Structure 1
C-alpha cells in the first residue's frame, strides 16, 4: 500500500473538482427531491396495498 501515491491521486482529484454554479446546484436539488418524493410515494402505495390485502383476509 503506497500511501504517498494514493495521496497524490486524491489531491489531483480535488484540484480538478469545482464548485457547481447555482443553476447546477438547483437542478441537482430538484432531481434529488423528485427522487425522494417518488420513493416515498411508492412506499405509501405499497403500504396502502398491503393494508387492503390484510383487511380482506
Structure 2
C-alpha cells in the first residue's frame, strides 16, 4: 500500500472538484426530493394494499 501515491490521487481529485452553482444545486435537490417522495408514495401504496388484502397485512 503506497500511502503518498494515494494521497496525491485524492489531492488531484479535490483540486478538480468545484462547488456547484445555486441553480445546479437546487435542481439536484429537487430531483432527489422527488425521488424520495416517489419511493415514499410507492411504499405507502404497498402498505395500503397489504392492509386491504386479507392475510397479507400486518
Report the counterpart of residue 17 of structure 1 in structure 2: 17
Q: CA deviation at 1:54?
A: 2.6
Q: Structure 2: how far apart are the matches of 1:54 and 1:9? A: 57
Q: CA deviation at 1:46?
A: 0.2
CA offsets per residue over residues 32-57 of structure 1, 9 Å max, x none? 000000000000000000001137xx
The answer to which structure, 1 or 2, has the higher relative contact order (CA under 8 A, 6+ apart) is 2
Q: TM-score, normalised by structure 1?
A: 0.93
Report the counterpart of residue 6 of structure 1 in structure 2: 6
Normalized per residue, the structure richer in helix is 1
Report the counterpart of residue 50 of structure 1 in structure 2: 50
Q: Structure 1: how far apart are the matches of 2:12 and 2:4? A: 12
Over the residues paired in the alignment, what is the CA RMSD in angstroms?
A: 1.0
